[in-house]
Each structure stands twice: as C-alpha cells, then as structure tokens.
C-alpha cells in the first residue's frame, strides 16, 4: 500500500524549520540544504514541496503572519479602546523569547522583501490583512467616526507604532520601561484625534 503523505503538513513542518533557522541565525543562513537539515529531511525532499528558495521564504512569511493573527485572535477585546489596542500591540512586541524570535523573523523578511518582489507581495498581503482587521475593529467599536478612511489612517498609525517599537526593542531590549509608557501616550492621542 502506498504511503499517504499530508502535503500541507509537510510544507508547514519545513516552513517552521525555516522560521526557527531565521530566528537563530538570520536569512543569510537559509538555503534549501540548511532548511532540509533543520527539518530533518534531504534537500531533495524539501524540493518536492518548494521548487525555489523564494517560494519557501514566501510560505514561511505567511506562516509567521498566521502566528501574529492567531495571537491577535486570543486578545481580550473588551474594555476601553486604548487598553484593547495596547493589548494588541503588546502581543506583537518582542517582550519574551517567542515574540523576540517572531519579530526577528518578521524584520528579516521585511528587509529581504526590499529586493525580492515575490516576498514583498507576500508581506503586503499580510499588511493588508492586519490593516483590514484593525480598521474593522476601530470602525465597529473604538472611534467616534463612521468614516472608514479615518479608521484606516488610525490603523496605519497603530501598525507603524507597533513596528517601530518592535524594531527598537530588538536592538535595545532594556528600553521596555521607556517604550511601553510611550505606547500608552501615543494610543490615547491617536484615539482622541482620528
């Protein structure tokens, strides 16, 4: 009887190995061979699921985006809007080992996307998904305006604030005591003036 292989599960396992490799060593260490070794497979086995390194990177970027979306889905969205936004942003900041690894991966992919159109397209799709979810929540609960464009601008500002804080915390982890209060002030100001 032929062996039944769950193709999606195999791709996810390889993508997860790639994410772990990037978080520990950076994108410079990623090749089909190194990912295969990290995933416990041969290079040929990896190439059955991903034709190119870029295809493998795009898939792994999608996995990284899914992790952030799952964490956002677990956030308690009850309470004052600035507190909910604070919880959402804090879930993306590198404040523990798992989120530090995820932020490291995210910024590695963003940097590579500058020169790789396929990865840039994947990153834009992730950005659109996050912006849409945040805009919908702002429109439904947080802002006194019913203008979608106003909510989109606030969502963009929240995302930029989150990205900027995450980046600073990656290279200055001791700045947490300074940056979290800055987050609180910025969120209150954004919600007060859509």
Q: Which two tokens stand for residue 88?
A: 């959402």
Quick one: average pLDDT of 33-49? 93
Give the pLDDT score at 157. 94
Give the pLDDT score at 10. 92
Alpha helices in the chain (DSSP H): 7-25, 32-39, 43-49, 53-73, 81-92, 97-113, 117-137, 148-171, 176-192
Give the pLDDT score at 158. 93
- Summarised one tens digit per residue, pLDDT across range 129-158 is 989 999 998 888 866 667 889 889 999 999
Sign of CA dihedral 144, 148, 150, 151: positive
Quick one: average pLDDT of 84-99? 91
Q: pLDDT category, 1, cuts 50, 70, 90?
A: low
Query: What residues have CB less than 8 Å from 138, skipping those under 6 apart?
Result: 81, 151, 154, 155
Q: pLDDT category, 166, cuts 50, 70, 90?
A: very high
């Amino acid at each position: 009887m032929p062996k039944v292989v769950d193709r999606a599960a195999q791709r996810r396992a390889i993508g997860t190995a790639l994410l772990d490799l990037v978080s520990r060593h950076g994108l410079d260490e990623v090749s089909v061979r190194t990912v295969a070794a990290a995933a416990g497979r041969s290079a040929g086995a990896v190439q059955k699921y991903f034709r190119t390194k870029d295809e493998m990177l795009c898939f792994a970027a999608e996995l990284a985006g899914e992790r952030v979306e799952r964490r956002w889905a677990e956030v308690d969205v009850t309470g004052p809007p600035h507190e909910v936004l604070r919880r959402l942003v804090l879930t993306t900041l590198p404040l523990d080992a798992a989120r530090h690894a995820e932020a490291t991966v995210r910024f590695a992919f963003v940097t590579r996307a500058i020169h790789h159109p396929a990865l840039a397209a994947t990153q834009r799709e992730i950005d659109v998904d996050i912006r849409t979810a945040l805009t919908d929540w702002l429109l439904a609960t947080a802002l006194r305006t019913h203008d979608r464009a106003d909510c989109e601008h606030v969502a963009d500002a929240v995302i930029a604030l989150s990205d900027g804080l995450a980046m600073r915390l990656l290279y200055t982890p001791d700045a947490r005591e300074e940056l979290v209060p800055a987050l609180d002030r910025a969120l209150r100001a954004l919600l007060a003036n859509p």
